[in-house]
Structure 1
Amino acid sequence: MSAAGPLHDLKARLTAGLDPVETWHPDRRPVRSDFDLNPDRDVATFPVISPLRPAAVLIPIIARVEGPTVLLTRRSDTLSSHTGQIAFPGGRLDAGETAIEAALREADEEVALSPSVVEVLGLADTYETGTGFRITPVVGWLTEPPRLSPSADEVAEVFEVPFDFLMDVANHRRDHYDPETGPRRWYWAMPWQERYIWGVTAGIVRGLHARLYGDDKRADENAA
């Protein structure tokens, strides 16, 4: 059976469920954050940083015949922060840039994903990090697998995760760690094979799921 129907339906759902790119503005209010699971903010764990620094990530969805996948990276172990973590391509906005421009530029710089092969479908929920960033997730659609060349300075690995896996709340769980100072910190995690998707990346995936399929309170309880 052809996958064109399901892929077409998914693309239509994404287009309908996301905010149009024209609605973006630099002060777009965060809808989700690291504080969703940590409402009693402790400055030792989450320092107060104001104003929030604008950033953007690209969520590249590849329309594979055998099923859509999401492109992710593992950050280089030589970076000064968040080394080895799973992330979407992305970074800070340059002066005068929109989130859409920044997401596409960063993807090009990090893995040589050409903007010309990405159809931007819209914007997912803006996410505030505990480190003081306001991240706009930009959802892109790729009609075929791209040719990539990761930047060794920034990316250790590029891989794909099935879209259906990320959108299945049975794979979402709440994990935690205990910092040297401050209370226990909770975060979303979605382990896949030998890779540990967690933190901001997992939180953004949760936001995309809610956009497309709604919040599932029972799933939240099960994840706890």
Structure 2
Amino acid sequence: MSLISLRERLMERLAPAAAWTPGGPPEQSDYDLNPGAARPGRTLRPAAVLVPVIARPEGATVLLTRRSDNLASHTGQIAFPGGRLDPGETAERAALREAWEEVGLEPEGVEVLGLGDAYETVTGFVVTPVVGWLAEPPVVVPSPDEVAEVFEAPWDFLMDPANHRRDFYDPESGPRRWFWAMPWQERYIWGATASIVRALRTRLYGDEAEPAAAVDEDAA
């Protein structure tokens, strides 16, 4: 029953994938916690990530990756499979393609349920979260050039605001930078990935009279 209610909630409250259009404005951003930071005028580059929700009998989980330490940027960070759009691609196609390239996730095994809120990163991307439903636990084959580890975090953990905290770091120059974080076991989920999770939680449960009870029903 709980997996059924979660799937129905996702289908009901996410934006239809077919409604995506290039160039849409972001609804969330890295600047939300840092309103005083300089925001350069620029054309944002479109990107997409796949948020794979796995319907395990013991409760829903979300697939995440730890990026390779050999990458040129964002080394070792926790992320959803994803990347920039190729010319002519939709967000849905890009997210499925990147998931296949990064972790060997078969597109045929992913039911795309909809889109979350577009997110602007400080690095100049506007990222569209594409939420996919996996009825069966996937067999993954990480690309060693891009992914150091693939793991799953429980849906109820990610959707519980008690596990969301504001952290910060002080760069060598400029003001303190604040960001959302949600450490899971020995992994540190933070930045855009954590913010996308929080935005998804708000979209799904923000108007519930008892959001914690609704999360528990979906996750168990």
Q: If the length of structure 1 is used for normalisation, what is the TM-score?
A: 0.91
**Among 9, 15, 35, the residue aligned to 1:13:** 9
Partner SS state of residue 175, structure 1 = strand
Aligned AA (2:156): D
Is contact 1:38–1:185 with CA below 8 Å preserved after alignment?
yes
Report the CA distance between 1:89 and its aligned residue.
0.0
Give the Cα–Cα distance (whole angstroms) in 2 for the partners of residues 215 and 34 of structure 1.
Answer: 24
Aligned AA (2:56): R
Is contact 2:47–2:83 with CA below 8 Å preserved after alignment?
yes
* Map 1:1-224 → 2, pairs under 5 A: 5-42=1-38, 48=40, 50-214=42-206
Is contact 2:76–2:148 with CA below 8 Å preserved after alignment?
yes
Report the CA distance between 1:49 and its aligned residue.
5.6
Give the Cα–Cα distance (whole angstroms) in 2 for the partners of residues 23 and 35 of structure 1.
Answer: 26
Render the CA deviation track for 1:4-52: whole Å, top value 9, x for unaligned: x00000000011110001210011210100001001123xxx6x26100
Report the CA distance between 1:99 and its aligned residue.
0.4
Give the Cα–Cα distance (whole angstroms) in 2 for the partners of residues 124 and 155 of structure 1.
Answer: 24
Give the Cα–Cα distance (whole angstroms) in 2 for the partners of residues 49 and 190 of structure 1.
Answer: 30
Report the CA distance between 1:215 and its aligned residue.
7.4
Provide runs of 4+ in structure 1 moved above 3 Å.
Answer: none
Q: If the length of structure 2 is used for normalisation, what is the TM-score?
A: 0.93
5+ residue gaps, structure 1: 217-224
Partner SS state of residue 116, structure 1 = helix
Give the Cα–Cα distance (whole angstroms) in 2 for the partners of residues 176 and 117 of structure 1.
Answer: 38
- Residues 57, 49 of structure 1: CA spacing in aligned structure 2 closer, same or farther, 3 A cutoff? farther
Identity %, equivalent residues: 69
Render the CA deviation track for 1:125-152: whole Å, top value 9, x for unaligned: 0000000000000000000101110000
5+ residue gaps, structure 2: 209-220
Partner SS state of residue 100, structure 2 = helix
Report the CA distance between 1:174 and its aligned residue.
0.2
Partner SS state of residue 10, structure 1 = helix
- Residues 114, 49 of structure 1: CA spacing in aligned structure 2 closer, same or farther, 3 A cutoff? farther
Give the alignment's Cα RMSD to 1 decimal.
1.1
Render the CA deviation track for 1:170-217: whole Å, top value 9, x for unaligned: 00000000000000000000000000000000010011001101179x
Partner SS state of residue 138, structure 1 = strand
Aligned AA (2:152): E
Aligned residues: 208
Give the Cα–Cα distance (whole angstroms) in 2 for the partners of residues 140 and 175 of structure 1.
Answer: 29
Aligned AA (1:94): D
Is contact 1:49–1:132 with CA below 8 Å preserved after alignment?
no
